[in-house]
A and B are shown apart, each in its own frame.
Chain A
Amino acid sequence: MNEPPAISVRDLTRYYGSKPAVEGLNLDVPRGSVFAFLGRNGSGKTTTIRMLLGLVQPTRGRGSILGHDIRNLPTEARARIGYLTEEHQLYGWMNVRECGEFQSRFYPRWNEKIFRSVAGHFNLQMTTRVKHLSRGERAGLCLGLTLAPEPELLIMDDPTLGLDPVASRALIESMIFLTRRSGRTIFFSSHQLADVERVADKIAILDRSVLRVCCPLETFRQSVQRVRLRFSGTPPPPVPAIPGLLQAVRTEGELRLTCVNYGAAAEKALRALAPAELERVPLSLEDAFISYLGDRGEKSFILAETESETEAQP
């Protein structure tokens, strides 16, 4: 796939006063990917998204989105980008159908069938006024309004925030549905790792304004490993210096380490401690994420793109 990435930024930086919100961000979002943008609150995700859309000017650095400079996005390019914000500008007095009609006038390419099908997926009545919609229903309406112009790139800032499980699932289903057309890219921020695990093929993790991880989801899972060493009789020795150590927990007869890029060298160092047993313990995505961003341990490891994409789709 030699297509240019849907989103590409280099050294993208934004300061608020002397405080960095985003620092030196380099990121490529390949076309056709479902890309999850992760990080704790205040790590700079929203600022990044707003810079991508030209809503916030970068202090430094550059970026392109669908091949256009983010500092000067032409209207034509804007129409090919769907941006789902938490609060879409909706008029309370309009009903669902009128919202669609109103929105459609701004887009040369408007697919009413998609609007109706998303609305139907969220059980919306065309005649219900916006002010009478529940939060989940509003989310469905906003999603319909965003998807009907058939955007090539869909950007969502924490789309499932505050949604109940049913609405949240409907949104995730719509994301999967969107990938039906090849080459459609979804870039979304989220704290819902269960959703991320379902839909994302790539992830990036921002930590305190700095990008720490950018790789396929599966690569991240494989890179963060927990190792358990059991010791009989003696208490565990102090933890040796292992490259990539994130966390170490020592208990009575056990040493539990979480490492990134755990490999032969680390294993050799641990075997030298002469444990009675050494065992790799699989981690859930959430545990891996928390170990990675948690407070203990060193954290200066960027996972590189290591895995070739599996594109095969019968």
Chain B
Amino acid sequence: MCSSTVKLDITISTGSKVPIYKQITDQIWLAVAGGKLAVGDQLPSVRVLAEDLVVNPNTIAHAYADLTRDGLIESRAGRGVFIVHKRQVFTPEEAWRRLEPLLDAAIGEAMALNFSHDELKEAFEKKLGQWKAAMKGKPSDE
């Protein structure tokens, strides 16, 4: 009990089309992808997270079981649950599936703002360039 668990910033929406266990796994994947969680970080126990999020402990257990199955976390007897994996966070199919709605949303908004096809392309290229410059010099993942 010497190591401290990380605080998970998870939001649960009831009434969503996404079941709660899936909301939890999605947000943990995103936190890892976004660097908010790193390999070796300890997640709260099922019980603690259940009380924190006010959801049935079995739902948390379901989410953790899925994450364990997918190799993101590992339960170490008597010590807790840890992030163990970082590379290739999503399968290529899953990555594309996630990218699509983001692109749709951005393009949809942009269309509503009357941007032309070419202007959008140009803006996208420019942004990519800015990101590339910003990322330069940062250590890449393994």
Partner of A314 from the list B21, B58, B62, B64 (CB cut-off 8 Å) is B64
Tell me the complex Cα distance, A286–B51, Å.
Answer: 23
Find the A residue at minimum CB distance from B21.
Answer: A218
Nearest-neighbour CB distance to chain A for B130, whole angstroms, equals: 35
Stretch from A8-16, A131-139, A193-201, A267-275 forming part of the interface with B: A193-201
Given contacts A198-B12, A283-B17, contact A176 B51 (CB under 8 A): yes
Nearest-neighbour CB distance to chain B for A123, whole angstroms, equals: 17
Tell me the complex Cα distance, A195–B75, Å.
Answer: 29
Is B55 part of the contact surface with A, judged by Cβ < 8 Å? yes
Partner of A282 from the list B15, B18, B21 (CB cut-off 8 Å) is B18
Is B72 part of the contact surface with A, judged by Cβ < 8 Å? no
Q: Which residues of B contact A (CB under 8 A)?
A: 12, 14-21, 45-47, 50-51, 54-59, 61-62, 64-65, 75, 80-81
**Chain B residues with Cβ under 8 A from A106's Cβ?**
none
**Chain B residues with Cβ under 8 A from A199's Cβ?**
54-56
**Chain A residues with Cβ under 8 A from B46's Cβ?**
313-314
Is A105 part of the contact surface with B, judged by Cβ < 8 Å? no
Inter-subunit contact B57/A313 (CB<8 Å):
yes
Report, nearest first, the 10 A-B pairs whose CB atoms are least far apart: A194-B14, A282-B17, A201-B58, A314-B75, A197-B14, A198-B55, A313-B61, A313-B46, A284-B17, A199-B56
Partner of A285 from the list B15, B45, B75 (CB cut-off 8 Å) is B15
Instruction: Report A155-181 CB contacts with B as 1/0, cut-off 8 Å.
Output: 000000000000001001100110110
Inter-subunit contact B57/A310 (CB<8 Å):
no
Nearest-neighbour CB distance to chain B for A79, whole angstroms, equals: 26
Nearest-neighbour CB distance to chain B for A187, whole angstroms, equals: 14
Partner of A284 from the list B12, B16, B45, B62 (CB cut-off 8 Å) is B16
Inter-subunit contact B55/A218 (CB<8 Å):
no
Is A34 part of the contact surface with B, judged by Cβ < 8 Å? yes
Inter-subunit contact B15/A284 (CB<8 Å):
yes
Tell me the complex Cα distance, A198–B12, Å.
Answer: 9
Instruction: Report A182-210 CB contacts with B as 1/0, cut-off 8 Å.
Output: 00000000000111011111000000000
Given contacts A172-B54, A179-B56, A200-B56, contact A314 B80 (CB under 8 A): yes
Nearest-neighbour CB distance to chain B for A89, whole angstroms, equals: 30
Instruction: Report A213-250 CB contacts with B as 1/0, cut-off 8 Å.
Output: 00000100100000000000000000000000000000
Is A312 part of the contact surface with B, judged by Cβ < 8 Å? yes
Tell me the complex Cα distance, A194–B46, Å.
Answer: 21
Tell me the complex Cα distance, A290–B121, Å.
Answer: 44
Find the B residue at minimum CB distance from A196.
Answer: B14
Partner of B15 from the list A177, A200, A286, A312 (CB cut-off 8 Å) is A286
Given contacts A197-B14, A283-B17, A285-B15, contact A179 B57 (CB under 8 A): yes
Nearest-neighbour CB distance to chain A for B112, whole angstroms, equals: 23
Inter-subunit contact A197/B20 (CB<8 Å):
yes
Instruction: Report A28-50 CB contacts with B as 1/0, cut-off 8 Å.
Output: 00000010000000000000000
Inter-subunit contact B51/A177 (CB<8 Å):
yes
Tell me the complex Cα distance, A286–B19, Å.
Answer: 12
Inter-subunit contact B65/A176 (CB<8 Å):
no
A-B contact pairs, 9 of them (CB 8 A): A169-B54, A176-B54, A194-B15, A198-B14, A201-B58, A201-B59, A282-B17, A284-B17, A312-B65
